[in-house]
Structure 1
Amino acid sequence: MLRNPGDVATATFDWGAIKWFVTPSAVPGAGSTLGEVIVNPGKGHARHHHPNAEEVIYVISGEAAQMVDDGEPFLIREGDALHIPKGVWHSTYNMTWRPLRLIVTYTPGGEEKALEAAPDYCLHEPGAIPEWRPV
């Protein structure tokens, strides 16, 4: 099943946006989740974990401070890939002026549903272009 950015909704948050291209709830038979994440300059994901799924992060462009398992933050940048085991605490902060673009996967899929409970979660219909405003 081919899906392009115009085919899927955009979830926005105070820190950026996500487009989930493959999820078990949207693609029949899918067992994993894959999406593109944009983290705005000076923003990031607070410390969190996925108790039921491992995560893989691939950096398309930009760089960020990455923390894994409550260790010292380290730099991730374009071309880097990172595996986060199931249940491990982690955070990602874009400390630069450029947007950070990531490909993110969850195995097994379904962990993306937890983001819908975030207080700043907003879902935009496929094809809609969210308006970005500095906070």
Structure 2
Amino acid sequence: MLINPDAVPTMTFDWGSIKWFVTPDAVAGAGATFGEVIVNPGMGHARHDHPDAEELLYVISGEARQMVADGEEFIIREGEAVHIPAGVFHSTYNTTWRPLRLIVTYTPGGAERALTEAPGFRVHPAGDIPTWRRS
């Protein structure tokens, strides 16, 4: 099944955006979630966990501070991956002037549903291009 990014909705938040290409809700028979996350320069998401799903991050481009399991923060860069076990708290902060682009998976899928309750959540229909304003 081919999935065109222009054919799926975009979630936006104060810190960036997400396009979920595969989710159990959108793709019949899917057991995992797969998407692209963009974290805007100088932004990040609050410490949180996914009680029932592990998460895998792969850095397409950019650099950020990553925290996993309340351990010491470390830098993630292009080409690196981070595994976050189910129920482990974590956060990601882009401390650079460039957008951070990540591929993100949840196994099993479904953890993305909680994002609809996140501060600043908005969903844009497929084909819409979200914009951000400078402060």
TM range (shorter): over 0.9
In the alignment, is residue 92 of structure 1 matched against residue 92 of structure 2? yes
Tell me the alpha carbon deviations over residues 45-85 of structure 1, each in whole angstroms, 9 at most, x when there is no partner.
Answer: 11000000000000000000000000110000000011100
1:15 — aligned with what? 15
Distance 2:52 2:46 in 1: 18
The TM-score normalised by the length of structure 1 is 0.98
What TM-score, normalized to structure 2?
0.98
Counterpart secondary structure, 1:26: coil
Q: Structure 1: which 4+ aligned runs deviate by more than 6 Å?
A: none
Indicate yes or no: 2:111 matched with 1:111: yes
Measure, in 2, the Cα distance between the counterparts of 1:94 and 1:70.
18
Matches of 2:107 and 2:133 in 1, distance apart? 33
- State the match for 1:76 in structure 2: 76
Match of 2:55 in 1: 55
Counterpart of 1:14, as a letter, is D
Q: What is the CA-CA distance between 1:119 and the residue it aligns to?
A: 2.8
- Aligned partners of 2:43 and 2:69: how far apart in 1? 20
Q: Residue in 2 aligned with 1:133? A: 133
**Counterparts of 2:43 and 2:27, CA distance in 1:** 30
**Which residue identity is paired with 1:113?**
R
* CA–CA distance in structure 2, aligned partners of residues 87 and 13 of structure 1: 22
Q: Which residue of 2 aligns with 1:67?
A: 67
RMSD: 0.6
- What SS class does the counterpart of residue 114 from structure 2 fall into? helix
How far the C-alpha of 1:36 sits from its partner, in A, is 0.1
Give the whole-Å Cα distance in 1 for the aligned partners of 2:15 and 2:25.
Answer: 24
Q: What is the number of residues matched between the two proteins?
A: 135
- Work out whether residues 14 and 119 of structure 2, in 8 Å CA contact, stay in contact via their aligned partners in 1: no
Q: What one-letter code is carried by the residue in structure 1 that aligns with 2:126?
A: P
Aligned residues with identical type, % of pairs: 72
Shift of 1:5: 1.0
